[in-house]
Amino acid sequence: MAVYLDWRTWRRRTRVDEWEQWKLKYNKQYSSQEEDYLRQRVWLSNLKFVEEFDSEREGYTVAMNEFADLDPREFVSHYNGLRRRPHTSSGEPCTLGEDVSALPTTVDWRTKGYVTGVKNQGQCGSCWAFSATGSLEGQHFNATGKLVSLSEQNLVDCSSAEGNEGCNGGLPDDAFKYVIKNGGIDTEASYPYVARDEKCHYSSANIGSTCSSYVDIESKSEAQLQVASATVGPIPVGIDASHLGFQLYDGGVYHSDLCSQTRLDHGVLVVGYGVYKEKDYWMVKNSWGTNWGISGDMMMSRNRDNNCGIATMASYPVVKAN
């Protein structure tokens, strides 16, 4: 005799099956049954958000990615790590100007050899180090013609005197200060990333790049950021990445009316810009692995009143050929 399930029982069992499949896909294991239940509740809440999300209206898509078992507050505490402080930078002022009329409509430094593959910071608030190394890698390539992956762990372990706090956060400018004072930064191969704070073991024998100075782009000027992005190379920036749509971003041009221009919590790397479906965007390289976003990258809205503060705290290092 056939057994029929009522709709609610069927839906609950279906969701449990989806939960188990999602855990298998992302190799999720929890310390206890209670923790599993808690994560499932958060996952179900995020699933409701994804299913009700209006991608046509918002202009981007979201998905149940590997971070779907975290609520936004938890996510920020685990994966973001930009420390916004009163402006005390000693960087050189940017003299590039704001005239964008002669610039190309599309720029992508990934296709020109300036950008290493997407990396993964893990559950360590070291995004600032990844945005700093990304820009140093690009400028080192510009100066030498060689793309060298540089050590985020070197910055995490060794730049506390400049104001950085390892996995508890930091700033790209303070990373540049360290590399300048230190006389260089080690290669990724010689000083690999471990996603936790360790004792500094920098070696001058393993230098991958140097830095002579750094330049601060005019705060909140998307025009000057565009000039720098078109003429200099990949640019590290700070953004507000505290919202669920960002956490579960899957494609399209991200924009959020909830974003702040000043409450910045995440460091990323602008690797170009362009236009997608008549929407101006910044192409951003993130440090959350290739399962997130567009194989680890993201299109963020451009020329929409500095959305998410993308031009509020931008800078770039100066690297000279030896």
Catalytic-residue membership of 127: yes
Whether 140 is catalytic is no
Phi then psi dihedrals of residue 76, to 5 deg = -60, -40
Question: CA-to-CA distance for 83 and 306, rounded, in angstroms?
Answer: 19
> Residue length, the chain?
322
Of the listed 65, 154, 286, 306, which one is catalytic?
Answer: 286
Burial 85-103 (b: 16+ CB within 10 A, else e): eeeebebeebebeeeeeee
Q: How far is 297 from 74, CA to CA, in rounded Å?
A: 22
**Strand partners for 275:** 280
Q: What's the count of helices (H) and strands (E) in the chain, helices before strands?
A: 9, 12
Give the DSSP letter of residue 148. Answer: -
* Closest C-alpha to 260, from 234, 275, 242, 278: 242
Nearest-5° angle of CA 263, CA 193, CA 25?
80
- Separation CA 189–CA 208 (nearest Å): 10
Active-site residue flag, 286 = yes
First to last CA, the chain: 82
Of the candidates 94, 158, 266, 306, the residue annotated as catalytic is 266
Which position among 65, 80, 94, 127 bears the catalytic label? 127
Place of tokens 């929407």: 279
CA neighbor of 185 nearest in space, from 250, 130, 224 = 130
Please identify every residue annotated as catalytic: 127, 266, 286
